[in-house]
Each structure stands twice: as C-alpha cells, then as structure tokens.
Amino acid sequence: MEITDANLQTLGNYLLQTLSPDPAVRRPAEKFLESVEGNQNYPLLLLNLLDKPGVEANIRVSAAITFKNYIKRNWRVLDEAHDKIHPDDRATIKRLIVGVMLNSPEQIQNQLSDAISIIGREDFPDKWPDLLVEMVGKFQSGDFHIINGVLRTAHSIFKRYRHEFKSQELWTEIKFVLDNFAAPFTELFKATMELATKHASDPKALKVIFSSLVLICKIFYSLNFQDLPEYFEDNMEIWMNNFLTLLQVDNKLLQTQDEEEAGLLEHVKSQICDNVALYAQKYDEEFCNHLPKFVDTIWHLLVTTGQEVKYDLLVSNAIQFLASVAERPGYKSLFQATETLHSICEKVIVPNMQFRAADEETFEDNPEEYIRRDIEGS
C-alpha cells in the first residue's frame, strides 16, 4: 500500500463507514481494514491520515483509535514468522509517532500516547533509546499542550514501575530513565510551580498548569516506587517544599461547583498524600526531617476539608498517610497524647464514618459502585 492521496482518501472512507450504526455498512468496512492491516505502510497510512490537515475530526479520531488497537494487537512479536508489521514500518512509526502525537488535539493525543506506551513496553529503552531524549527535549517548548502530552506519555510508560517485580533488567531501565529524565523533570516542576504562582489569578492558565502538576506528581510516585533514587534524595528539599506549598493552596479559581467530581486541586493534593505516604513507609530515615511538617499540614487539611463526595479520595489518602506514620514505632509519640487521640476521633474518624445522603443515593441507584468505592476507600 503506497502512501498516496488516493489511498488516504480510500482509507478515510472505510474508517468513516466503521462509524455507521448500520451493520450492513459497518461490518464490510471492518472486514476490509482487517484484510489490509498486514500490508506494508498500513500503519503509516493511519498516522498520515490522522495528522492530515482538512480531514474530518471524526475520521482522524477513528484513525487514531484504529492505529492504537493495531499496535496493541500486533506490536508484540511472539513468533517472527507471524510478524504483521514490516521492520521499516516499525522504524518509521517510532521516528514519527511522538511528533504526530504532540501536534494533535487532546483526544487524538490520548490515543497515540497509549500507543507509545504499548510500543515502549516492548522496545524501550533497548530498541528505542531516542524516545526519552525526544520527549525531554519538548520540555523546553513552553507549550503546555505539548508538555502535557509528554507528561501523559511518560506517566503511561513509567507507571508499570509501581507493580513490576524487581530484576536487573528493571533496575537498568529505571537507571536509564533517571539519568536522562530526572534532572529536566525536576526543572520542569520548579518552572511549573513558578508559573502557578505567576498565574494565580488566571483560571484558564491555572487549569493547564495544574493538569501538568497532577501528571508530575504521578510520575514522581512511579519513579520513586521501587527504591529511593539518588537524584531525588539529593533534591528532596525542592520536591518536598513544593509539595507542602501545593497542599496549602486554597485558590477559589481551582474549586469546582460539582459536589461529586473532584477537581484538579483535589487530584494534586491527593497524589501528594500518596507520594509522602510512600516516603514515610519506605524511606523514613531520609524523609524524617520533612515528616513533621507534612503531619501538621495534612492533619490541618483533613480537619478543614468538607464532607462532599469530591473530597473522598483526598481524605482517604490523607488518612492513609497519617496511618502509615502512626504505625511506625519511631513516630508513635506524635499520636500518643490524649488530646491528640481525642481530636483524631472527633475531627477525623467520626465525621468520615457518617452515612451521607450522597452515600445512600449511590447505594440505592448503583450498589456495585457503592461497594467499589467502599472497598477502594474513596
């Protein structure tokens, strides 16, 4: 399949037909796409189509989803004899996909980010060493649409570090990531914090900036999960001071009117509680100097946060942090005073045991969702 305007138009027509509610139109189009996906240049046609100006938005989104699913089905090679993707296509995809993703609208960007994550799981870093360099280079763009695309992709690649079994291969990969990513990532965090202060009265800018901060906090958790990296230990002051600052942010422009849907500020604070709980549990010796400040700040956060559903995850993670601290023998003294225990019971435990009207409504309307939330602690 040559990459020509005629082939792009034909492919676009078939993708449009796959969106038809009429099975007589949709199924033949799906069959056609299945029949040609083993041809050389097929994935490149999809990439070109979704990046082509003037193509209808629904066709571009369909091309992105089709491309992601194609990668999901075919990128991993279990048998060389049955590799559906031509080696030249593999190389070209890896050369083009990051640039295409970052220049795409968010809906398409999300699909391509997932595709990069799938490819990265198989090829990064040994067969795709340039990926990280290309991504880090985009931090200097100053365009948060691009930066958030990079962060979203980095998060999707690195989050598996949270559950991978320890191995030499994993350590080698994480070291490669830290050597190339940790320093520019920290600089990006510092710059983003400065922008958050600078644009504190601009709701549109704050939304973009705090979207970045949510992703930054999630990536921090992934990179620190297996072990405490030397770089983050050396720069703990930067990270922890800024985490404290974010926990104390109370900007009305970031507050949502919805009582059930958590906003960006809640997501940032919730993830920070997760991050410092990780440090308290696993790296208490290195973290001990910072811990009392976080205990005070998160305690204050707990007693001043409302009972609305949107705060459930934040409250749950904050309580989990305090619990992780309380169970460490060295920190029991922080909670032994009678007035402290009384305050914990009165201001934290009892209020969060209440069966709210929202809980009753969820239980009646969607019992499965109620049970899921109860199990997950949100």
Give pLDDT, residue 223.
Answer: 98
Give pLDDT, residue 81.
Answer: 65
Give pLDDT, residue 362.
Answer: 76
Give pLDDT, residue 21.
Answer: 95
Q: 264-282 vs 236-247: helix axis angle to the nearest 10? A: 140
Q: pTM value? A: 0.87
First to last CA, the chain: 50
CB neighbour list of residue 2: distance below 8 Å, 6 or more residues apart: 41
Residue 23: asked if its preceding bond is cis (omega within 30°), the reply is no
Measured in whole angstroms, how far is the alpha carbon of residue 238 from the centre of its chain? 22
Domain ranges of the chain: 255-378
Give pLDDT, residue 378.
Answer: 54
CA atoms of 304 and 256, how far apart (whole Å): 17
pLDDT in tens, 248-266: 999 988 888 777 788 999 9
Give pLDDT, residue 377.
Answer: 59
CB neighbour list of residue 209: distance below 8 Å, 6 or more residues apart: 144, 192, 195, 196, 199
Question: Which of the residues in the chain have pLDDT under 70?
Answer: 80-81, 352, 373, 376-378
